[in-house]
Structures are given as structure tokens and as C-alpha cells.
Structure 1
Amino acid sequence: MTMIRTTTMIALLLLAGCAARAPRLADVAAPTQRPPVILISVDGLRADYLTRGVTPNISALAASGVRATAMRPSFPSLTFPNHYTLVTGMRPDNHGIVNNTMEDPRIPGVRFSLSNRAAVEDPRWWNEAEPIWVTAEKAGLKTATMFWPGSEAAIHGVRPTQWLPFDGKLPNSDRVAQILAWVDQPARPAFMTLYLDTVDHDGHEFGPDAPETVKALAEVDAQIGALVAGLKARSVAANIVLVSDHGMASVAPERVVRLDLTVPAGSFRTVSTGAVAGLEPMPGQGAVLASALKRPHPHMTCWPRGAIPARLHYGHNPRVPSFVCLAQPGWMILDRGPSEDKALGGMHGYDPAAPEMAASFVAAGPAFRPGTVVAPFDNVDVYPVLTRLLGITPLPSDGKDRLAQAILR
């Protein structure tokens, strides 16, 4: 009887031990969910804006994670080309969004522009590359995009699980609230984007050093703080990557190169103007236009499409105009004099090497090495970081893995 009782007690103790260990074994066996990745674009956030003392929340993210002294945009340093570069790892000449305003001989009669809703939603303009949300969706991950350029088109037939058409009037607070609403969903998206454009808007209208721009910067920083606080309240440890697409340079009406006073009348038509201009010759005027643009100009340099300096990685895509002219930073190229009611205080699109074009990069979250500061790098290197965070296989790109190796745990 004593032996039977002893054996029974040992069996009960073994069963109790198994029961006590079962939850831990189940936890180990259960699949682990990666922290969500939130890619934030603060359009026009010049690198040195973060030293102005009005961005405590962005600075706190940088202190807890990673910051770059600067990030070099791709040429041209414009909004749509660089946003698509950030999510594809390809330079504009390779992903096809070569300007905010462009033409394609394969899509005759259509001019792509930010205001052309039909073109923005037409996948033919975007299909030369595959953005990370498409790759993620193909890998079975849910994605959600808040206004990121390209996300309104069914690229290669795929859209984000959730997306919204761009509405410039939607307050930044509502945009942040939408991200938190997505976070609250039972099937939380693995990848989300947030786009904030007020710093760029006021930088254009008033100039990069204007009080209005500083105020917009402080307001955006407050919204970043609200997002971080909302994640903390939900106990969500997200990997946040905050970037900008370009910087901003001061401009003035007196610093304008007028093409109508520089190039023979009737020899050209403009595809785009601003910091970088695209020109097409009128029929039979190619030689005349080439000769006029070849002449030295103190504030503008022009090249035929095939002769653009190699360091700019630009000019092979058929969407690049026949002639490309680049203004000296602080100057603009217009086909006529500037309109007094549309005078601008700031512009971008210049040589990516210009200090005024330097963009921002800040990242924080469980995947990042805290207290890391990295030297300036090309923005094509952001894409490999994002694919690593999501655990998906990157597509071939112009980006290198060196940034990911330097900043990820």
C-alpha cells in the first residue's frame, strides 16, 4: 500500500509539473508577431530643421533610437520621385516617376501631375517598380497607407489592404487618429504609412526660415508626440521610421531664369519648370534649342537627356524630357515671369548635394540600436531597412544593406 501511494504521488507530481509548464511551452510554440512598422513622411523636413528647438518629440525618438545627420534625396529632389524611391529602393530614372510633372511617349496625350487625379490613379505610371506595400501584400501581410504617393493606384494589380485618396484638407490630427484606428484593429496591419505635408506647404509659401514654417514644424512635432503617446497607451511597441523626401531652399521673384528671355521663341515647350525644368523642342527646332541651352548661364545648367552627369543617375528613362535644366539653389526656371499672386518663398528639386536639399531620417523601436547616429546616406538605402523590419525578401534595387546593418539590432 505504501508503494502504491508513493507511485501515485509521483505520478500526480509529474502531471502537476506538466500542467505548470504547459503555458510556457505553448508560448514558445506560438508564432511571434513582428512589431508593426510605421513609415512617416514629413514632407519638406530639411535636416537642420531638427536643430531649431521646436521638435522635442522627434528629438526624443532620435535619442531613443537612430538619427542621421542628413539623408540625401535622389535627383530630382521632388516629392513624388523621392517618395517612390523610399518605398522601392530605386532611383527615379529606374522606377519611372521622374518628376512631379512628366510625359510618357507610351501614354500619349496625357501629362502626369500631382493635380491630375486620373493619372495619379493610373497604374501605368507606377508599374515600372513595385512598392513595399505590394511586396508585403503578396507575402500575406496586411498594409494600410495614409496618402503615400502611389498608394492610390493598383500597382501590378495590387492595392494596400486599406488606403485613402489624398485629401490635403484633412488635419494632421485626423491622419494620426486614422493610424491609431488601424492599430486598434484585431487584424492590425503589419505596415502603415503616414504622410504630413504642412511643413512643405508653408516652406513653399513663406520660405524655410519664416515663422509660419517654424510653427508648422512645431505642430507636426506635436502630432508625432500624439502618435507615440497613443501607441504607448495601447502598449504597442512599433518600429517607427520617420523620413522626409527633400529639404527646402529660399527663393525670391528676382532670382528667376526666364526661358522666354533665354531661348528663341517658338523653339521649345516646357514639360516642367521650377528648380529643375524639362524642355521639348518644337518640330524642326531641336538644333536651335540645343545651341541656345548650350550657352553658359550664371544660374542654370542644361544638358541633353543623354548627357546628364552620371552622379545624378538620371536621363535614361524615356519619360525624362529631351533637355533638362537645373537651377542654382535659390533660383527658379520659369517659362515666363513669376506671377505676383503666386510668389513663393521656398523651393526644392535642386542638386541633391546642395545642403538645403538634405532630408531627415529618424527611427526608433525595438528593432533599432538605441543612441545610434549615422553619417549622411542616399535615400535608396531606406528600402532594405523596411524589408528587414517586415521580414520580407527585397526586390532588386539601387539600395545597399549597409544602413540596415548599422542601425538594426
Structure 2
Amino acid sequence: MVYFALRRQNFAIVALLLLSTVQARLLLISFDGFRPDYLGNAQTPNFDQFVSEGVEAEYVVPAFITKTMPCHHTIITGLHPESHGIVGNTMYDPVLDDTFWFTTKDTEWWDNGGEPLWVTAKKQGLTTAAHFWPGGETATNGGYKPDISPPYNGSEPFRQRFDTVVEWIAERDIDFTCVYITEPDAVGHAYGPDSQEVREETEEVDDILGYLIGNLKQRKVYDTTDIIVMTDHGMVEVSRDRKIDLYDYVDPNDVERITETGAIMSILPAEDKTMKVYESLKGKHPNMSVYRKDEIPGRYHYANHRRIMPILVVCDEGWEILANFSAQSESRMDLAATHGYDNSLASMRSFFVARGPSFRTSYKAEPFDMVDVYSLMCHLLRLEPAPNNGSFANVKDILIDFTSFSPSSRSSFFASGLTSTISILILNLLA
């Protein structure tokens, strides 16, 4: 049997060759409104263990505006909102002459030239699933949508959602899965980021992550799955005495439509009233900045789309602008916290942690932009990325890059890799 005994020094060679032909699955998880500092303000043993075995970014700069729909579509496409067209949680399209809401699934709203990762993956032969990810139920880019994308059900318990995701990975061998969890955003809005309720919800989210990890381990897929956990935006405290009423400055008859309120306001003036509305607001309050569309700062990447309204108001951190205080509910006036502000603010930052066979261990990464995550995920899945605004160079340091892999060589790499590995293994066995 001596001919079938591998020499010890050849184990490393064979192991590396086997690793180079095995593609890890990818699981992307978004916890809505999870500010990075929440992890330091609560007991989070599961996150702590996860980070010790993987990587953590100092922070991620989210998209502007720092709201759920734009940021999630930036994560999944690598594009700024002005490029992918999901410019708000609510928006008006003058070509469609229609308004977008959270529940909108029509293709014409989501199909704006950007390519979600599940489309990129499916075009290149991988299987995909989206569990309540914004846009995941809609066919785009010529009819592509995830292989599995159940309709949104906000009442489904979080643990049940993760049971479903683990089944997809373990039983159906899905290559890329993304899942969206609505907390701790809602608790943050209701009680504020520094509240005991948010600390308790953070610990509940940690328990949910531990539950997921336990299930993945039980199904023996934890160590063969690359897992990214991140959020879309942060959260900051607001108060009733830091609110601005639009109609204290502007005649309601001069406004045709308002599509976003709060941290920012998007205004479509009535016909021929743009300059009047602009001049009524510009410089009139010390805690808001007012821009015509052609004045919006370039760093926001928020000007070149028809769904961006002619006038944008951006409030200072902690301030809000609403239309007609008397029409607002008491709960809206007493909202404890919100988001949507300037994406350079520390309070709006996203967190990013990751673990798996492709990631380094106990590594603290420099900050990067949300648009970079798409390129990272394409690399993990051995995909040629669609055109995007991000850069893999900004995130490659978080990976164990033991091969000089090029996404464009994916097909030939995997076609030849297994054959080469078997051939070398046989040679070593006979040596």
C-alpha cells in the first residue's frame, strides 16, 4: 500500500489545489438601521465571535439619501442612486407620471440600467435567492429575477426567515442568497439610538445571528459559506423642537408635489414656480441647505436622474422639514430618531462584518463606500461584474487572496481545475 501513501509535504499542495476549485456560497444579510456603534453599546457575544473569526470595516459610507430603498439598491448593484434610479423611499417619475412606494414592484421602476447581483449571477450560471430584499420580487434586465423570491411578509418571525434561508443553502445549494431584516430600524425610530430599547433590540438581533449560525453549523454549511452582515444606514435623535414647517416659508399653491420629508425634502414646484419656491427657502433657516438640482453637491452623486426633483432641502443633523405641522400625527411629530441625512455624517454610517473561507481572520478594514460591496461580491462568486460605481481595489485587502483569480476566466478556471487537481493527486499517490 506504500504507493497510495501521500508524502506529508504534498498535503499542502493538494489542499490548495482543492481549495482553488471550490467556490464558497455567499450569504448577504442586511439589518436595517443598525448603526455601527450599537455593537459596542450592548452585549453581543455572537457578533463578537463572528468578527473575531473574520473581518470588520471601521465603517461603510452609505449612499445618499441615507434611506432604506436607495441604500439597498446601491448594495446590490454597486451604483449610486442617480445611476440606479431608486432615489428615495418614495419618489415621483415625470415620465411614468406615477409615484413609487415601499410596496411598488412594477418593472419600470426597478429596471433603470443597473444590474442587481442576482441578475449578474444568473447570467453567468449561478443560482440565486432573495428573501424580502428590496427589488427582489421584480423581474428586470430582460426578465431576470432571483430563482427564489417569496413575496414580502412583514409578520414572518426573523428566526423563521433564517430557517428558510438555511434550507435554501443546505438543501437547494443556492450560490447567492440575500436576506433583509427590518430591525433594529423600527425600534430606533420609536425610541432613539441611545435608548435602552435599542440596546435590547441589538441583543435580540445578536441572538438571531447566533440562531442562524447554529443552524448553518448543524447543516454543516457554516464553514463553506462566505457571510456578509451589514446595514443600509445609521440613525440619529430628533425632537419636536427641531422641526421646520415648509409652509412657514412657501405658499402651498406653489408646490405641486413633495416626495420625501424629514431629514431631506424633495420638492416639485408648480409650473413656473421653481425659482419662487427656491428663493422662498434659500438662506431662510440656519439648519437647512437648499439646492436647485444643478447645485446639489457632486459628492452626493444625486442629481442626474429624472426622479430627483428640481429642489432638494437637506437638513442639519437632528433637524427635520415637514409640510404643514397641523396635518402631522402626534406620533410623527414625536418621532425619536430618523435618517436620510448627509452620508458623510458618523451617525449615518453603515457597519460591515464578514466571515468565511474567503475572508481574513481578526482583521480590521479601513472605511470604504457602499458602492464597493457589489464588486466584492462579484469577486467572491467568480463573476464578471456589470458596470458599476465601485472598486474592488478598495475592499480586496479583506480577502485571503491565495490565487490570482480573474473573474473573466471563471468558466475555463473551473472547467480545468478539477481535472488538474485529480491528475496531481494521482501522481502524488503513485510517487
Moved more, 32-41 or 69-78: 32-41
Please report how far the alpha carbon of residue 18 of structure 1 lies from its aligned counterpart in structure 2 after TM superposition. 8.0
**Correspondent of 2:356 among 351, 357, 365:** 365
The match for 1:334 is 322
The match for 1:169 is 155
Contact kept? 2:278, 2:290, Cα under 8 Å: no
The match for 1:7 is none
**Correspondent of 1:286 among 274, 282, 293:** 274
The match for 1:318 is 306
The match for 2:227 is 240
The match for 1:37 is 26
Contact kept? 2:368, 2:395, Cα under 8 Å: no
Q: Distance in 2 between matches of 1:30 and 1:57?
A: 27
Please report how far the alpha carbon of residue 31 of structure 1 lies from its aligned counterpart in structure 2 after TM superposition. 9.8
SS of residue matched to 1:198: coil
Q: TM-score, normalised by structure 2?
A: 0.85
Deviations 1:64-109 (A, max 9, x none): 111011111011001000000011110101111011110112211x
Q: Distance in 2 between matches of 1:291 and 1:309?
A: 18
Q: Distance in 2 between matches of 1:135 and 1:75?
A: 24
SS of residue matched to 1:278: strand
Contact kept? 2:159, 2:212, Cα under 8 Å: no
1:8-407 counterparts in 2 under 5 A? 32-108=21-97, 110-114=98-102, 117=103, 120-128=104-112, 129-156=114-141, 157-185=143-171, 187-236=172-221, 237=223, 238-268=225-255, 269-337=257-325, 338-342=328-332, 343-407=334-398
Q: Distance in 1 between matches of 2:391 and 2:5?
A: 49
Q: Which contiguous aligned blocks of 4+ residues in structure 1 show a shift greater than 3 angstroms?
A: 16-20, 28-33
Moved more, 281-290 or 348-357: 281-290
Bigger Rg, structure 1 or 2: 1
Identity percentage of aligned residues: 36
2:329 maps to amino acid:
S
Q: TM-score, normalised by structure 1?
A: 0.90
SS of residue matched to 1:321: coil
Q: Which residues of structure 2 form unaligned runs of 5+?
A: 7-13, 401-431
1:290 maps to amino acid:
Y
Contact kept? 2:42, 2:199, Cα under 8 Å: no
Moved more, 95-104 or 369-378: 369-378
Contact kept? 2:34, 2:183, Cα under 8 Å: no
Q: Distance in 1 between matches of 2:24 and 2:272?
A: 59
Contact kept? 1:38, 1:191, Cα under 8 Å: yes
Deviations 1:190-217 (A, max 9, x none): 0011211120011111111122222111
Contact kept? 2:42, 2:202, Cα under 8 Å: no
Deviations 1:128-153 (A, max 9, x none): 21100111011111111111111010
Contact kept? 2:47, 2:206, Cα under 8 Å: yes
Judged with a 3 Å threshold, the aligned counterparts in structure 2 of structure 1 residues 360 and 31 are, in CA distance, closer, same or farther, namely: closer
2:139 maps to amino acid:
A
Q: How big is the alpha-carbon RMSD for the aligned residues of Structure 1 and Structure 2?
A: 2.2
Q: Distance in 2 between matches of 1:30 and 1:205?
A: 47
The match for 2:423 is none
Please report how far the alpha carbon of residue 355 of structure 1 lies from its aligned counterpart in structure 2 after TM superposition. 1.2
Contact kept? 2:274, 2:310, Cα under 8 Å: no
